[in-house]
Amino acid sequence: RIAWIDGAFVPLADARVSVMDRGFLFADGIYEVTAVLDGKLIDSARHLSRLQRSADALGLTFPYTSEQIEAVERELIVRNQIDQGSVYLQLTAGAAERDFLRKADTPPTLVMFTQAYDYLNSPAAEKGVAVVTMSDLRWARRDIKSVMLLAQVLAKRAAAEAGAQEAWMVEDGFVTEGASSTALIVTQAGTLVTRPYSQTVLPGCTRAAIWALAEQDGVTIEERAFTVDEALAAREAMLTSATTFVMPIVSIDGRPVADGKPGPIARRLRQLYIEAAR
């Protein structure tokens, strides 16, 4: 596999970052994961604009234009023969003497690599996934796609130990989002509900695309926070992310959602999302 680091394509095994890198020492960095289908980037413009937004929030100067980034991403897709998968990109504040305060002249570190998946033959999408709920232990700026992911790592581990594929995080009685996905439900009245954008959640690129598709498809949509009880009483529950597209949720904390089978709106949105990307 080939990776790209600070201007050069190198074998992934030879891609090296200093132990003094601020991403390693302070989690002083941001990232993006962009899906690839049929060898093409999906929702690239949304991911690049969120990347810029995250960079601005951390005060990182982005060293390349969006066109340059996309060109590298496309080259990685070709070199690694990615038909279905993702491109991972990480920008950190670079390597310098350990000091909480950044020095203005430290060049940033930028790394990109690819991962292969099989979106089109997904047993999880066919069967649906289980989620478990837990309290949201993250910081107060979850709208920034920061590499500071310890709370998510712990949440995923707790979910796996409970036999679930995702953790839904709860704050003040309301679901914020999944550890690595946006949380959505369909009420008994048929309304697709998800939390509005704020500093409490990451503005999901897949969620933005799905929202537009649902609206075009005549689905009633509503942006508001929902509780776990509401999700348990819902007609459907689902999650969205670049690495899962739309995934039906069939159980929450071991209790079935509706009849415990993937719901029609989740299945339809997944199909529409894949069609729009191809």
Residues of this chain that interact with ligand PDD (CB under 6 A) are 33, 177, 180-182, 202, 204-207, 240-243
Cβ proximity to ligand PDD, 92 vs 182, nearer residue? 182
Cβ proximity to ligand PDD, 24 vs 117, nearer residue? 117
Cβ proximity to ligand PDD, 109 vs 241, nearer residue? 241
Could you tell me the smallest distance in angstroms from the CB atom of residue 124 to ligand PDD?
Answer: 14
Q: Kindly report the backbone phi and psi dihedral angles of residue 156, in degrees, each rounded to the nearest multiple of 5, phi listed first.
A: -65, -40
Could you tell me the smallest distance in angstroms from the CB atom of residue 226 to ligand PDD?
Answer: 16
Contact of 114 with 83, CB cutoff 8 Å: no
Could you tell me the smallest distance in angstroms from the CB atom of residue 224 to ligand PDD?
Answer: 17
Catalytic residues: 145
Cβ proximity to ligand PDD, 33 vs 232, nearer residue? 33
Could you tell me the smallest distance in angstroms from the CB atom of residue 247 to ligand PDD?
Answer: 11
Q: Give Cβ neighbours of residue 196 (< 8 Å, ≥ 6 apart).
A: 223, 224, 225
